[in-house]
Amino acid sequence: MNVTAPSLPRLYREFAGWWPLLSSPAHYAIEAAWYWRVLAEHCQDPALTLLELGSGGGNNASFIKQWCAVTLVDLSPAMLAVSQELNPECDHFIGDMRTVRLGREFDAVMIHDAIMYMTSEADLLRAISTAYVHCRRGGAALFAPDCTREKFQPSTSHGGDDAGLRGMRYLEWTWDPDPADTWYVTDFAYLLRDSNGAVHCEQDRHLLGLFPRATWLSLLAHAGFEPLMVDWPGEPGAGADVFVGVKR
């Protein structure tokens, strides 16, 4: 099946200004606190600095910055502009998580769901290696994919928010054209209402990587990390698989 998408989805280019209405920063409080707690537990010394690769609109950073100094890197200038408005006290850099090199190390490194845009093992390893290069010895890196091959399920969801007269609603449709390869598709339909009340609809396609747990653990070890897999609080295996790499 011929399924294609631009290298950077429209959401992160022309629709970046709508991001806070699609994914409100307020919804990240519990998630961000848990990520930080996992990282802090796996760092040998107190974690005072954190690098987030693929930081997007900065929603996680808006909470994590209360515990450490946060540096943010993203491929999209438009998304960095959204984050700079939310997190003016954080350093921001344009860069590709596969290749960026800032020339410094951090106590902790994090890649949230932006890691899903690595659709081949080669690119996933490059992103993990970037995290390794920027992680100090005794530090830790956390990787939080939306799902692994073991937990993938086709799905639909919807949401959105308002800011005065301006508003956004979306329909998200996730499916896998070929379970034998390393990626799947999420199609979005956006209903966008501008400040004068006019509404229009836009479509956007995202190609996302899908790898089994064994591949994640193997690539973390190949990059130099001691690999671990951690569960969300509560029933083991109930949430998404989250991976931690410890740099001994």
1 domain-assigned: no
Dist CA 74 CA 81 (whole Å): 10
When pLDDT is averaged across residues 24-48 and rounded to a whole number, the result is 97
232 confidence band (pLDDT: 50, 70, 90): confident
Does one domain contain both 63 and 79? yes
Question: How many structural domains is the chain composed of?
Answer: 2
> Are 18 and 132 in a shared domain?
yes
Q: Are residues 93 and 199 in the same domain?
A: no
Distance CA 16, CA 87 (A): 16
Q: Is residue 202 part of a domain?
A: yes
Instruction: Identify the band that residue 7 occupies on the pLDDT scale cut at 50, 70 and 90.
Output: confident
Within the chain, how many helices (H) and strands (E) appear? 6, 11
Q: Do 105 and 25 fall within a single domain?
A: yes
User: In Å, what is the CA distance from 71 to each residue of 142, 143, 191, 198, 243?
Assistant: 15, 16, 33, 37, 21
Claim to verify: residue 119 and residue 197 sit in the same structural domain = no
Domain assignment present for residue 113? The answer is yes
Q: What one-letter code names the amino acid at 229?
A: M
Exposed/middle/buried for 84, CB within 10 Å: 0-12, 13-18, 19+? Answer: middle
pLDDT tens track for 18-33: 999 999 999 999 999 9
Q: Give the per-residue SS3 of 106-159.
A: EEEEEECHHHHHCCCHHHHHHHHHHHHHHEEEEEEEEECCCCCHHHCCCEEEEE
Domain holding 60, by residue range, is 10-148+212-246
CB 99 within 8 A of CB 130: yes
**CATH code for the domain of 29:** 3.40.50.150
pLDDT at 237 over 70: no
Residue among 32, 37, 34 at smallest CA distance from 52: 32
Q: Tell whether 31 and 144 lie within a shared domain.
A: yes
Mean pLDDT, range 122-141, rounded to an integer: 98
Residue 3 lies in a domain: no
Structure confidence at residue 233 (pLDDT) = 74
Q: What share of the chain is helix, strand, coil (3-state, %, to 5)?
A: 30, 35, 35
CATH number at residue 165: 2.20.25.110
Assess whether 79 and 47 both reside in one domain.
yes
Cα-flanking dihedrals φ and ψ of residue 46, to 5°?
A: -55, 135
Which residue has 């569960």 as its token pair? 231
Give me the pLDDT at residue 86, please: 98
- Identify whether residues 126 and 240 lie together within a single domain: yes
* pLDDT band (50, 70, 90) for residue 235: low
pLDDT at 77 over 90: yes
Read off the pLDDT band of 102 (50, 70, 90).
very high
Give the pLDDT score at 123: 98
Say whether pLDDT at 187 is over 90: yes
> Could you give the CA distance from residue 82 to residue 70 in angstroms, rounded to a whole number?
16
Backbone conformation region of residue 134, classed left if phi is above 0, alpha if psi is from -120 to 50, else beta: alpha
Residue 248: pLDDT above 60? yes
Residue type at 56 in one-letter notation: G
Within a domain: 2:
no
User: 1 or 16: which carries more pLDDT confidence?
Assistant: 16
DSSP state of 183: E
CA–CA distance, 9 with 18 (Å, rounded to integer): 13
Among 82, 74, 71, 75, residue whose Cα is nearest residue 104 = 71
Question: Do 64 and 122 fall within a single domain?
Answer: yes
Q: What local confidence, expressed as pLDDT, does residue 3 receive?
A: 54
Is position 108 within any domain?
Answer: yes
Residue 231 confidence class, pLDDT cut points 50, 70, 90: confident
pLDDT reading at 2 higher than 70? no
The whole-number pLDDT of residue 171 equals: 98
